[in-house]
Amino acid sequence: MAVASCHARVLPTFECRSDPGNSKPEPNRFSFKSKPKSKSFVVGVNLYRFPPNFVRQLSNKARRNCSNIGVAQVVAASWSNNDKNGSVAAVDSVTTDVNEVVAVGDGGDCNSNNNNSASNSVVVQSSSDSAALKASFLCADGSIAVHAGERLGRGIFTDGITTPVVNTTAYWFKNSDELIDFKEGRYASFEYGRYGNPTTESLERKISALEQAETTLFLASGMCASTVLMFALVEKGGHIVTTTDCYRKTRIFIQDYLVPNMDVSVTVIDPADVDGLQYALDQNNASGWLVSLFFTESPTNPYLRCVDIELVSKLCHSKGALVCVDGTFATPVNQKALSLGADIVLNSATKYIGGHNDVIGGCISGSMEVIAKIRKLHHVLGGVLNPNAAYLFIRGIKTLHLRVKQQNSTALEMAKVLEAHPKIARVHYPGLPSHPDYDIAMRQMTGFGGVVSFEVDGDLHTTKKFIGALKIAYIAPSFGGCESIVDQPAIMSYWDLTQDGRAMFGIKDNLVRFSFGVEDFEDLKADILQALATL
């Protein structure tokens, strides 16, 4: 497989039949009085020469879809008009309203007995990261989730609807001149598997479209994304501001690794403590310690606190600090952190984006400038997403809006039921007016997610009994999948600490985190009510 050159040749307009069946061919734009005997034809003033065995280099479907000579011969002719150094000329083909540039690569010497196989029609193409965003006819997240990065902006040229999995560790060059062109920026290639993959690139474009980002970097896990991001953006002696309520492993990484090994200092504030953030920004600037990064979740884990992203972004930017929002609980369907002013949005794609509890990965979205710094370190450290995992994420994202819509609805209705129940002491859900950040959530979210945290009216053992009586939800870590998952944070994530140690992090023994899946609402409601009835 070769990657197409970025030097495009503008070809004459041609037409393809919309029906690939056996209908009568329409008149051909490139008409001949008789079948040409030579392997060339003339369009305008340009002579196009066919390479040997060019028919074998085209899929049967490509030849069948295009009237007589049409696209097939024009594409084949472009292969024979390469530069002297052997680089492949690209072909401009306006195939949709997105003005997408499709760069067709060298088809190679394909086996003539396998022309119907999908692999014979798959070549890498050049496409802009923002190609999918140019589709004015795709306005809703649901449509973008299905088509962005694939039909619109896919880095692989194929007539298959689904994006192929490119399992390769390296990408070859036809000769040393082509390699030099790559090194000097005139030829596009990933070169090595750690630096990129066509399947993963399609996934990254899909996330970029959903997050309204210039670019996205996918990594092997959500924590891999978090750690590489902080290593890349926080210099030695820098300062991080983060929040009290957050994923425990993120806190451990900052306190146990960044602080002692990078001489990084940390300020921890309440998610709603804007004055505390302003004080940290002022103090550190006054003392010569520059705040490099404000890293926050919104909503947070496990109390689902919400940060005023627009406000904190303005404060941080006035002091030269970057803002990263971990939007895993929100998803790009419910919240657009970048449009609210954040510099970076991070997702543990393992959760809602994958959506099926079967694949692990993490992604970082933002501007080209900021993500380039993270990508550079990522290329050194590794942490590469497997292309098979990328395929599963692509598949999962196509139903993201449907799943999240169902989970939003179920969680909100169940939060109301739980809040009214006499055996529940308190419910934490940003869609409820009783939540401390309800007003913020209403301003910056279109849905409140599928996770509800609540406190059972009882102790550790009473809460254990409630969870043990549930019949539908799995007792497991993680959240956001099709299956409902329940856990007791005091046991699942903080059992290594004493009760007092857990209290220091705000983790109560009676706290339950319930991730609602896509099961029927009435079934979930009946199951929770019967479990509460056992107390």
Q: Which residues are catalytic?
A: 194, 247, 326, 351
Q: b vs e for 428-450, b when ≥16 Cβ sit within 10 Å of the residue's Cβ?
A: bbbbbeebebbebbeebbebbbb
- Return the closest-CA partner of residue 209 out of 101, 100, 129: 129
Q: Is 140 exposed, middle or buried (0-12, 13-18, 19+ CB in 10 A)?
A: exposed
Q: Are strands 239-243 and 291-297 parallel, antiparallel or unpaired?
A: parallel
DSSP assigned state of 330 = T
Residues 6+ apart with CB under 8 A from 354: 360, 361, 392, 393, 396, 480, 481
Measured at the alpha carbon of residue 27, what is the angle toward residues 151 and 70, in degrees to the nearest 5?
Answer: 40
Closest CA to 44 of 13, 20, 69: 13
* Contact by Cβ (8 Å): 199, 391: yes
Q: Which residues contact 184 (CB under 8 A, 6 or more apart)?
A: none
Q: Could you identify the residue written with the tokens 């196989």? A: 117
Question: How far apart are the C-alpha atoms of 280 and 275, rounded to whole Å?
Answer: 9
Q: What residues have CB less than 8 Å from 255, skipping those under 6 apart?
A: 266
Query: Quick one: tokens of 100?
Result: 């997408």
Residue with the two structure tokens 């009835």: 533
Contacts of 519 (CB under 8 A, 6+ apart): 472, 483, 484
125 is written with which tokens?
């193409």
